[in-house]
């Protein structure tokens, strides 16, 4: 990764080089600060038994190396997941275990944390996309993603965190808009009005998006960037809700409408606060369920952590694809199988697929209306990361790394399918895949699942799918 220098800091403390922009580089006594923070983290969290177990059992068998798309591309031993995990485990062993203390007192060859090791950690922990594919291939089940995340957490408390992530999280937690893209409420309402007009034009139905409606079944959160960048995904979501007869059973809260949770990638502190902010909004609206749009990490963070942080009776969390499949199975929606004729493939977002949670649902939906569906190999729980996971996609200054290294295996996988459309129900994956398609000049386009559903869904009282297809083709011919 090319080293770049942060630009927005005081010149007198600008002595180190970081691989990504950071806000306030700490260049003095980093070793002491790291150990102080590590000790505080161990005091208040549950990580100690995990580290104890990994320290003892880590066999360094290297199976994780071949599972990691980054190591497969670079062949650099520093990119082996076990190598990165050992960086942190060695520090834990030396400074926080009796064995480590004993060895440091009585051995001539004891390990000491150095400034260079901190440089190595802050680089390597952000070369990993935290996709956890290595964990699936580890015979012992060592979760390298969790350790990388813990390393990032400690570094973030030293204020060593990519500026792109920190600025977004600050706005989400402490800013006026409470969302990562700084979209004000008025812009949200404008966007929803625009989407309603578009839906009237495309589908032939008149709608008003429900905002701040009380006592609704579903409170909807998507990646806030979707409101700016993915109108088709949102219209697809809305079309499914309308056709399912649930239009009066959902709402968007205008105090908090962002499902993004970068805390999942680097900080327990932020992760919990963002989840509590989401729960507070559902409380305000007296909602019953949290419905997450097409976003992998937003879905995972809500699905896994609303039950952990959301109090004694946490709200159930549903991914939108689960909702759509349920509607399809119950016969509430109908998808025309003659509309999509292109060759379509599906990219599994790691955050929802690796655990096996959302693997079959999108495939069942796609197979019901896409005749020419082809799988990537491998897929599902063993899929390859798009190369932008773990927050990397938001760090623009490492674009070259994402294209040439972390996304290379995925680009090769896409080429092998020969697909014309790549479906990826995740805001982060879509951004990374679009950049890959552009970088490698791939003859395909990247879409969300509901973008495709928008084209094939039959809308009661609206235009037919054939009519809409004809209009779309006419528009395309007109350029």
Partner 1 sequence: MEAWINFAKGPLFTVTFLIMLLGLARLVLIQVYSLFITKGRRLKNAPWKTIFSDLSTWMVPVRHLIKGTIIFSLVSFIFHVTAILVSLFLIDHIVLWEDYLGINLPAIGRGLADILTLTTIACILILFCCRLFVPRQRAMSQKMDYVLLIMVLLPFVFGYMAGHPYLNPLPWQTAMLLHILSAEALFVVIPFTKLAHIVLYIFDRLSALHWQLKPGAGDKVAEALFGKEARV
Q: Say what angle helices 320-329 and 360-369 make with each other, to 10 degrees.
A: 50
Residues that contact partner 1, how many (by CB under 8 A) = 64
**Residue of 7, 28, 43, 107 interacting with partner 1 (CB under 8 A):** 43
- Report whether 145 contacts 135 (CB < 8 A): yes
Q: How far is the CB of 418 from partner 1 (least distance, A)?
A: 22
**Residue of 16, 30, 163, 273 interacting with partner 1 (CB under 8 A):** 273
Counts for the chain of helices (H) and strands (E), in that order: 24, 8
Long-range contacts of 49-55 (CB under 8 A, 24+ apart): 50/146, 51/88, 51/89, 51/92, 51/96, 52/97, 54/85, 54/89, 54/142, 54/147, 55/89, 55/92, 55/93, 55/97
- The region of 52-60, 112-120, 243-251, 424-432 touching partner 1 under the rule CB under 8 A is 52-60
Nearest-CA neighbor of 350 among 391, 394, 289?
391
- The region of 51-59, 213-221, 323-331, 438-446 touching partner 1 under the rule CB under 8 A is 51-59
Q: How far is the CB of 41 from partner 1 (least distance, A)?
A: 6
Binding mask 170-189 vs partner 1 (x if CB under 8 A, - otherwise)? x--xx---------------
As a 3-state breakdown, the chain gives helix, strand, coil percent values, each rounded to 5, of 55, 5, 35
Would you say 46 or 208 has its CB closer to partner 1? Answer: 46
User: Under the criterion CB under 8 A, does residue 416 sit at the interface with partner 1?
Assistant: no
Would you say 169 or 192 has its CB closer to partner 1? Answer: 169
The 373-374 sheet, strands edge to edge: 373-374, 344-346, 421-423, 445-447
Distance CA 472, CA 468 (A): 6
Only one residue has tokens 């008003």, namely 208
Distance CA 287, CA 108 (A): 62
Q: How far apart are the first and last CA of the chain?
A: 39
**Residue of 136, 185, 284, 439 interacting with partner 1 (CB under 8 A):** 136
Q: How far is the CB of 146 from partner 1 (least distance, A)?
A: 6
- The region of 131-139, 177-185, 426-434, 459-467 touching partner 1 under the rule CB under 8 A is 131-139
The 218-221 sheet, strands edge to edge: 250-252, 218-221, 289-292, 317-319
Would you say 71 or 95 has its CB closer to partner 1? Answer: 71
Sign of CA dihedral 73, 79, 82, 84: negative
Only one residue has tokens 């006592």, namely 215
Nearest-CA neighbor of 395 among 223, 265, 231?
265
**Residue of 5, 13, 228, 308 interacting with partner 1 (CB under 8 A):** 308
Binding mask 328-367 vs partner 1 (x if CB under 8 A, - otherwise)? ---------------------------xxx----------
Would you say 2 or 46 has its CB closer to partner 1? Answer: 46
**Residue of 128, 271, 321, 340 interacting with partner 1 (CB under 8 A):** 271
**Residue of 63, 185, 288, 439 interacting with partner 1 (CB under 8 A):** 63
User: Under the criterion CB under 8 A, does residue 461 sit at the interface with partner 1?
Assistant: no
User: Under the criterion CB under 8 A, does residue 442 sit at the interface with partner 1?
Assistant: no
Q: How many residues does the chain have?
A: 479
Would you say 92 or 369 has its CB closer to partner 1? Answer: 92
- The region of 75-83, 197-205, 229-237, 444-452 touching partner 1 under the rule CB under 8 A is 75-83
- Which residues here bind partner 1, judged by CB under 8 A? 36-37, 40-41, 43-50, 52-54, 56-63, 65-67, 71, 75, 77, 80, 82-83, 86, 99, 135-137, 139-143, 146, 157, 166, 169-170, 173-174, 267-273, 304-305, 307-309, 355-357
């Amino acid at each position: 990764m090319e080293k770049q220098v942060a630009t927005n800091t005081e010149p007198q403390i600008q002595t180190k080089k970081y691989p990504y922009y950071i806000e306030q580089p700490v260049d003095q006594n980093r070793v002491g600060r790291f150990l102080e923070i590590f000790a505080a983290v161990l005091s208040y969290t549950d990580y100690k038994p995990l580290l104890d177990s990994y320290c003892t059992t880590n066999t360094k068998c290297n199976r994780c190396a071949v599972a990691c798309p980054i190591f497969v591309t670079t062949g650099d031993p520093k990119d082996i997941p076990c190598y990165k995990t050992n960086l942190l485990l060695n520090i834990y062993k030396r400074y926080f275990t009796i064995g480590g203390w004993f060895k440091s007192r009585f051995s001539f060859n004891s390990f000491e944390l150095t400034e260079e090791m901190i440089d190595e950690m802050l680089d390597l922990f952000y070369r990993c996309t935290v996709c956890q594919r290595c964990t699936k291939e580890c015979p012992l089940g060592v979760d390298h993603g969790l350790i990388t995340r813990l390393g990032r957490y400690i570094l973030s408390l030293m204020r060593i965190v990519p500026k792109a992530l920190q600025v977004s999280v600050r706005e989400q937690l402490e800013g006026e808009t409470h969302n990562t893209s700084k979209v004000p409420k008025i812009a949200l309402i404008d966007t929803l009005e625009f989407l309603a007009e578009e839906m009237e034009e495309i589908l032939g139905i008149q709608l008003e998006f429900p905002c701040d409606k009380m006592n609704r079944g579903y409170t909807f959160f998507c990646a806030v960037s979707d409101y700016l960048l993915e109108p088709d995904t949102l219209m697809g979501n809305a079309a499914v809700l309308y056709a399912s007869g649930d239009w009066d059973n959902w709402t968007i809260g205008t105090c908090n409408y962002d499902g993004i949770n970068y805390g999942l990638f680097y900080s327990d502190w932020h992760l919990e606060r963002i989840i509590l902010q989401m729960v507070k909004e559902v409380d305000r609206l007296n909602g019953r369920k949290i419905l997450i749009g097409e976003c992998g990490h937003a879905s995972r963070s809500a699905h896994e952590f609303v039950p952990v942080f959301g109090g004694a009776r946490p709200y159930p969390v549903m991914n939108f694809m689960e909702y759509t499949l349920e509607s399809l199975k119950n016969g509430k929606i109908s998808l025309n199988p003659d509309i999509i004729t292109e060759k379509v493939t599906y990219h599994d977002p790691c955050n929802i697929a690796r655990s096996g949670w959302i693997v079959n649902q999108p495939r069942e939906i796609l197979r019901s209306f896409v005749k020419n569906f082809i799988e990537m190999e491998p897929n599902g729980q063993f899929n390859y990361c798009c190369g932008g996971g773990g927050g990397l996609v938001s760090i623009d200054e490492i674009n070259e790394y994402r294209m040439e290294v972390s996304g290379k295996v995925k680009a090769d996988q896409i080429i092998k399918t020969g697909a014309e459309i790549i479906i990826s129900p995740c805001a982060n994956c879509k951004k990374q895949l679009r950049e890959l398609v552009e970088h490698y000049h791939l003859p395909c386009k990247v879409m969300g699942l509901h973008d495709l559903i928008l084209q094939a869904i039959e809308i009661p009282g609206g235009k037919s799918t054939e009519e809409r297809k004809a209009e779309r083709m006419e528009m395309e011919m007109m350029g």
